Amino acid sequence: MKKPLRVLAAVLLITFLCASAHAAKKPDSLSVKIGQMLMIGFRGLSVAEAPQIAADIKERHIGGVVLFDYDVPSHTPSRNISSPEQLARLTQELQNITTIPLLIAIDQEGGRVNRLKAARGFPPSLSAAHLGELNNPDSTRAAAQRCARTLKAMHISLNLAPVADLNVNPENPVIGKLGRSFSADPAVAISNITLTCQAYREMGIIPTLKHFPGHGSSTTDTHLDFTDITDSWSEKELEPYRALIAAGYRDPIMTAHVFNSKLDPLYPATLSKAVLDSLLRGKLGFKGVIVSDDMQMKAIADRYGLETAIQLAIEAGVDILIFGNNTAYDPEIASKATAIIHSLLQKKIITEARIDCSYRRIMELKKRNHIGRT
């Protein structure tokens, strides 16, 4: 073989080997799509302290994480947040190890549900109930702007707020008694929710309406037990969602684990195609991302196996499955959920087309909101 031909052959061989090595390292698209549907909670104040979440991000391609200031299973006040400086470092570290920007989420409602506490150096916050009582646009806007500025500085992109539940039952242990609802009056709630969402978006923070189709009338807590709202829920509780969707709302909506036999005689809302597909997407016309409430809460975890719960949630229309890892702690939860979804696909119980639908919605949300940019 002449020298030029030998050189060309060597170049071609090296090119082939490099391409093969790159292909071997490149994850398959289906695994990426499945990973993007998972939002996982974890323990650790830095990525170095959280090797499992780092592996979930790098190897399982999870699409989001959710942060907490208190670890419920161990009853300790050390989880992900100790100070503004530490939190800003953590969120940047998380974004630096992913190829697809993460949704970094938190429950920063204000008042009692407040992960960024003043005692740790964060600005004080006001509850939705207090703001609803004032019902002053300037006060609500100022509170939302202060919250959004803080989240932006911490590189947090998604707030799991505002609460769109109406304060139907003031004695509700998880909504009314905690001051999480703006009002029992739909008009007051809609006005304050709209102002809050606008202020978030102006600062580049994604809002999340919760908990669909309404948790305000319940008498029990879905974190702890099965919650039946069949006799207490009314169509009025849909009004905040109906009004905001009609006005163009397309950011996420979080499901409730509540059961209402008038809407679905078999399943709670998170697992109900009648509630999520027929009602939320069909009748109300919602086209955005549907986020589950924490799949480890007892209203789901105590009544359904993990595989059944994941299957039903995806079939119902959930796009992002949250495993907060703060009701129970399972460091392998992302691996288990990923394996279950792959198995459901292999068994043809769910289809790749269904996964594609969620993936497209999630990626559109991230692109539209420039996730990962600081």
C-alpha distances out from residue 105 to 34, 41, 152, Å: 19, 10, 11
Q: Tokens standing for 18?
A: 């490099």
The answer to whether residue 223 is catalytic is yes
From 223, 257, 264, 319, active-site residue: 223
What gap in Å lies between CA 303 and CA 285, rounded to an integer?
A: 30
Q: Tokens standing for 256?
A: 């409730």
b/e sequence 52-69, b meaning 16+ C-beta within 10 Å: bbbebbeebbbbbbbbbb
Pairing state of beta strands 253-255 and 290-291?
Answer: parallel
To which H or E segment does residue 261 belong?
A: none
From 56, 264, 293, 294, active-site residue: 293
What gap in Å lies between CA 58 and CA 50, rounded to an integer?
A: 13
Got the DSSP string for 214-230? --TT-SS-TTTS--B-T
Looking up tokens 């009748």 gives: 283
The answer to whether residue 293 is catalytic is yes
β-strand partners of 43: none
Pairing state of beta strands 113-114 and 108-110?
Answer: antiparallel
C-alpha distances out from residue 104 to 112, 120, 159, Å: 21, 20, 8
What gap in Å lies between CA 167 and CA 183, rounded to an integer?
A: 5
What gap in Å lies between CA 290 and CA 323, rounded to an integer?
A: 14
Could you give the residue numbers annotated as active site?
A: 223, 293
